[in-house]
Structure 1
């Protein structure tokens, strides 16, 4: 699931790199802001995966209890879709007007994304159901096929279309078709839903409209389960906006760097989802539970080391050239951040499932919005913000949060060990 999510998210980063190289830094930064705006609104429903797994982990498939719970997990998906149809365009409008972005360029990128956002809630629930059914192979194959299609579409569009506005429209609409195809393939891998999907969504919608207050509260709880991701992508959006004043290609490269980090950081949470599901099984003892946590950390560390190594090599090559010192520092900091994500993403997600969906959110707010964002604004006000200063700040904030997660994990592991001894 983690590799599948990583491949899915990598499509956005690859697209942004292609736009940077073909249409220039300013165009790439506008597309990057559209992607970050999309990520903020999309993460309002990304917690549906966590909540679906948490709701169904103890319900045996094929039972009436499981069927009832499946309808229940689609309730927040239906509500989220309704809210996103209204909220996403308004948020996009606020971003475009507030930043003074070129309207046709921004909306040609973000407009198709609004349509894709409306598919996300159901896609999130189906992905979690596929994970519960042991469909990791299906998920990985779908993700590989999607990435290959997105790369092929990107190469075709940037090779044939000279207008960035038309290119953005084509890329967005073709990506939407790929998302719809993903929904269909996931349904086919879930036989119990394939023939009853319409009835399940219709029953969920009826419950939503019968009790809208309850439905809104459910969405609030689901959003809270992924509040850390929401905080992170809002921070990425602010960083994207702060880079608008960078000179030369630095603004575009910042957008590319943010897209790559978003593509690597957020999908790693999937390993935490898998680990949390396995660890949460009621038959697992405390010692086995802690051992599985360590296994999840070691496996995710082995997974990120090659990516970090590529980053280090790229930073060395760029620094040897000597023309872009800021870019080499950015890539170096990105490699360092990837190395600590097994703690700050994977372990953190496991703790959310084991302890509480809202654990450490307050501390994350302090790190990101109490320290990192004010530091960026201070440098911005002094006209001293650039790649050389921005990316070490981002890395430092992530290191601090990783230390906070480790401290909380030690407390939980000691408590689990003590409980098992009693």
Structure 2
């Protein structure tokens, strides 16, 4: 797609979607900067007082990316780099009045699983910060690999000297970053500490993906990314976020037999770890209910049996859980019985579990039900991830279908997996 095409798409988007600036406090004290199609940054020289002011600039310049300052300035239209020497002159564009506490949580590379990892850390960070009395201004999906959380700084003490004021803010942010690191939450520390930082403006397009940087409600932030990601505004030709996917089934050439009417066809992954003697990956099917109830049940067996990360998928009539940890059959049976999974009877009768992951199709290969859709994952401790063996073959299965799992140091079996195509009654 050429630059002119992108420019027209951006013009159309911003004509219909003026940015919602309600979450940005002290708007007329903020500095705004555009990344233009020629690769250069452009500083807005006007004071932006409303969404209409900014929309006019967006339609005129059609920037690839739009940023605003986390700090408020005495004169936001003449912002300059921080003077290096104490004796240097500090003009109005160098005087910072205040600074938001901004966090950037990115997980690379871009994938639905990594977005889910970032979302979970964002929730942990939100709970940590609000528990300490910080007020959330907004949470946003960045439009690419992560999330932004922006908080108000409750410290209303103002240092009169602008040099000392900015230095005091930086020292406070460094201390806060250290406390967050101690909690095991990964953030881009430079975004939080740098008082001269600019971050992506909510309501604007992220050129890396074509998705909009979108404000999230508390319910959305606490819900799996898969439940809202397809509703995020985007421009035509936007990048596809890698997720678990199944190739579209091919049309059958043969004329269906009369007795095949009322049957459907689908594909299962088996629990068998190829290249081992009797070991299984922990595959668990659960009846359809709420996601919360499925997560609670899986969390219980994860704790009881020291399971590794559990990847949760959804079908129209069931939840399918894939844990890569390898276990012997007797141990597997105890896990399934404890989870009260219908898979328990399958293992007892057939010595293995087969989990439906493919689409359900009829005789003409028309899709009746979609394949399993990845929802979220239940993270294990780093000790469990590093000490347990996982199935190399089931990792290959997830990767083949677009879901790159987390890294595991100890593996069992060959890099192969067993699929079973089956006919089922409709």
Q: TM-score scaled to structure 1, two decimals? A: 0.20
- Between Structure 1 and Structure 2, which shows a larger proportion of helix residues? 1
TM-score, normalised by the number of residues in structure 2: 0.20
Is the radius of gyration larger for structure 1 or structure 2? 2
